[in-house]
Amino acid sequence: MALAEDRFDGKAFALKLPAQPGVYRMLNAAQKVIYVGKAIDLRKRVVSYFRQFSSLSPRIQLMVSQVAGIETTVTRSEAEALILENNLIKSLAPRYNILFRDDKSYPYLKLTRHDYPRLVYYRGALDNENQYFGPFPNAGVVKSSIQLLQKVFRLRTCQDSVFHHRTRPCLLYQIKRCSGPCVGLVTAEDYREDVRNATLFLQGKQHEVLKAIEGKMLAAADALDFEQAALFRDQMQALRKIQEKQFVDSGRLLDADVIACATGEDGSVAVNLVMIRGGRHLGDKTFFPQNAQEYDLSAILETFVAQHYLQRSTPSLIILGEKINATLLQDLLSEQAGHKITLTTNPIADRRKWLDMATQNAQLALQQRISQQAGQENRLLALQTALNLPGLKRIECFDISHTMGEATMASCVVYDNLAMRNNEYRRYNITGNQPGDDYAAMRDVLQRRYARTAAGEGKLPDLILIDGGKGQVNVAYEVITELGLSDTPLLGVAKGEARKPGLEQLVYPLQAPALRLPGDHPGLHLIQQIRDEAHRFAIQGHRAKRAKARNISDLEQIGGIGAKRRQSLLTRFGGLKGVKNASIDELQQTEGISRSLAEKIYREIR
């Protein structure tokens, strides 16, 4: 790396670089990476920023004016430089690079390799032991697919610990969503046939499935087994309805992703990804890249393909709405997948219709986002005016949740830059206080939240919002004053008469009079939005904590069941529900459980 003592001479530095492929990182005066780029020729690429400064866009000129140093890494090839650039952009998130926020792995549908395979939602690394279908654009599509497959093929979804210890069929069998393999109500051969048909269906071979089921229906009718024939008839009808609902059906096995862009008048960009697997349209997902202004759509799309597919499973066909330099990416993705990956920008027939659909999706998503953002801007401006806080941008809101003092949980949600920032949400377990003491809980969470902020670490909000009345607000004011943060605006949201929305009062600390905004005031709507989100987040965590505590306490109340035996029971039977469904003989097989203790558990836990 080279840093100037007074002013960094980028041109002189660049002229000393090798004419080899590699990655360069531009740093500002604080030594923070503000841009990462790749080049076939490092010297030529980096020097162009300083030699042709006047021809650069205003945004890039601003970036170059902030450069106080450059780091470079020489690579063996342009492909290697592309991979390194992609990894660095994801890890460093430089402010001048196009960034696609997509940190979560995509969900899959997993079919396990058991004698009686289990159908399950899955997110994470793939292995060779099980069979995976996907990826799907979101969790909802996977879960609806599982419900669909349960209805048609009646495959089990229960955990192994439950499956191996059933003595009678569960409710799913009663409502015809499972064939009851746990208690032998279906033969292994028939279950394997259902698994095979489900696999064919997920692979897009619906016609083969229908033909196989039709053959079984006719055979059952010939054997005068009309009840079984009716079951196969119902399966066929359900499958035909599913086929009718599919918007995209190529009529043949095909895995493809379709990607299109749309731009708004304000320079904002939306990238829509449509997923097609086995010829079936699984859904779509829209991405809104950061720092994409002043980049053309080809550059944005090329960046998306690199960030989205490198080190991730890829379909055999990717249809793009803009022309890009596809050769390098196509070769890299093919090498990664172990088979040929085709990137095309000139689709025809049905594939052109898919691209048009993706383009329309991107345009609609962008319009909705712009509309929502305009609404948020209006709400924030109204709140700034009402509270006389012109610089208000970041709001942190706190809520306390418990049931009769049990499992107290505090939540903190963050609103910043016109949106809720759920990656900054936090929950706090409150222990050691008198049950039901909301004041002590509020004191606890605020001390934990802002102790580091007072020491100079983390962000300080422009407004602290408390879901509560005068008492909680005064406690909060005491805490932030003790921490030396009394200049931070503080406000409580007290529920109105009969807890009716629109009648809330905004409570200031000490003896200041409360503020009452009209029910249709945009600023009040923003307060309600943030308050409701804090309440939802607290309740969600509280319920999970309470359920866990009650599961354990049910066993704790039984004499002779300590922590070790309790853990053995919960592990063996997959949770409290499995323990309740177990027989005395099954309970006795657990390590540390005698016959008399098994009988005691059986009596007291039901």
pLDDT at res. 272: 93
Q: How confident is the model at residue 246 (pLDDT cuts 50, 70, 90)?
A: very low
Is the pLDDT confidence value at 248 over 50? no
- In 310-337, which residue ranges form alpha helices assigned H by DSSP? 326-337
Q: Is the peptide bond before 18 cis (omega within 30 degrees of 0)?
A: no
- Which of 26-30, 98-102, 123-127, 551-555 has the largest mean confidence? 26-30
Is the pLDDT confidence value at 402 over 50? yes
d(CA 73, CA 42): 9
Architecture of domain 256-368: 2-Layer Sandwich (3.30)
Is the pLDDT confidence value at 103 over 60? no
Q: How confident is the model at residue 245 (pLDDT cuts 50, 70, 90)?
A: very low
What letter represents residue 512's amino acid? A
Q: How confident is the model at residue 3 (pLDDT cuts 50, 70, 90)?
A: very low
Q: What is the mean pLDDT of residues 160-178?
A: 85
Single pTM value for the model: 0.66
d(CA 483, CA 575): 44
Q: How many residues are there in the chain?
A: 606
pLDDT tens-place string over residues 458-505: 789 999 999 988 999 999 999 999 999 989 999 999 886 656 777 888
Q: What is the mean pLDDT of residues 115-138?
A: 83
Q: What is the mean pLDDT of residues 332-336?
A: 89
pLDDT at res. 154: 86
Cβ density class 547-576: b for 16+ within 10 Å, e for less: eeeebeebbeebeebeeebbeebbebbbeb
> Mean pLDDT in the chain?
83
Lowest mean pLDDT among 242-256, 260-274, 412-426: 242-256
pLDDT at res. 6: 55
Report whether CATH 1.10.260.40 matches the domain 557-604.
no
Q: What is the mean pLDDT of residues 517-522?
A: 90
d(CA 346, CA 2): 45
Is the pLDDT confidence value at 203 over 80? no
- Enumerate the domain spans of the chain: 2-92, 107-245, 256-368, 395-536, 557-604
Q: Could you tell me if 115 and 260 are in contact, meaning their C-beta atoms sit under 8 angstroms apart?
A: no
Identical topology for domains 256-368 and 395-536: yes
Q: How confident is the model at residue 347 (pLDDT cuts 50, 70, 90)?
A: confident
Q: How confident is the model at residue 250 (pLDDT cuts 50, 70, 90)?
A: very low
Residue 263 φ then ψ, to 5°: -120, 150
Q: What is the mean pLDDT of residues 263-292?
A: 84
User: Which token pair is 273?
Assistant: 């990804």
Q: What is the mean pLDDT of residues 49-67?
A: 87
Calculate what percentage of the chain has a pLDDT beyond 90. Answer: 29
pLDDT at res. 405: 55
pLDDT at res. 499: 63
Q: How confident is the model at residue 606 (pLDDT cuts 50, 70, 90)?
A: low
pLDDT at res. 390: 92
pLDDT at res. 51: 85
d(CA 354, CA 346): 12
Q: Could you tell me if 319 and 258 are in contact, meaning their C-beta atoms sit under 8 angstroms apart?
A: yes
Lowest mean pLDDT among 132-141, 323-332, 365-374, 483-492: 132-141
CA 389 to chain centre: 33
Of 177 and 235, which is predicted with more confidence?
177
pLDDT at res. 456: 77
Q: How confident is the model at residue 546 (pLDDT cuts 50, 70, 90)?
A: low
pLDDT at res. 5: 44
pLDDT at res. 552: 53
Q: How confident is the model at residue 247 (pLDDT cuts 50, 70, 90)?
A: very low
Q: How confident is the model at residue 2 (pLDDT cuts 50, 70, 90)?
A: very low
Q: How confident is the model at residue 538 (pLDDT cuts 50, 70, 90)?
A: confident
pLDDT at res. 1: 43
Q: What is the mean pLDDT of residues 99-115?
A: 79
Q: What is the mean pLDDT of residues 354-377?
A: 88
| Chosen CATH of 395-536 out of 3.40.50.300, 1.20.1260.10, 3.40.30.10, 3.30.420.340 | 3.30.420.340
Q: How confident is the model at residue 506 (pLDDT cuts 50, 70, 90)?
A: very high
Lowest mean pLDDT among 73-77, 242-246, 448-452: 242-246
User: Cα dist. 541→23, 277, 440, 531, 550 in Å?
Assistant: 44, 36, 19, 16, 14
Q: What is the mean pLDDT of residues 187-193?
A: 90
- Which of 106-110, 532-536, 558-562, 578-582 has the largest mean confidence? 532-536
pLDDT at res. 197: 83
Architecture of domain 2-92: 3-Layer(aba) Sandwich (3.40)
Q: How confident is the model at residue 587 (pLDDT cuts 50, 70, 90)?
A: confident
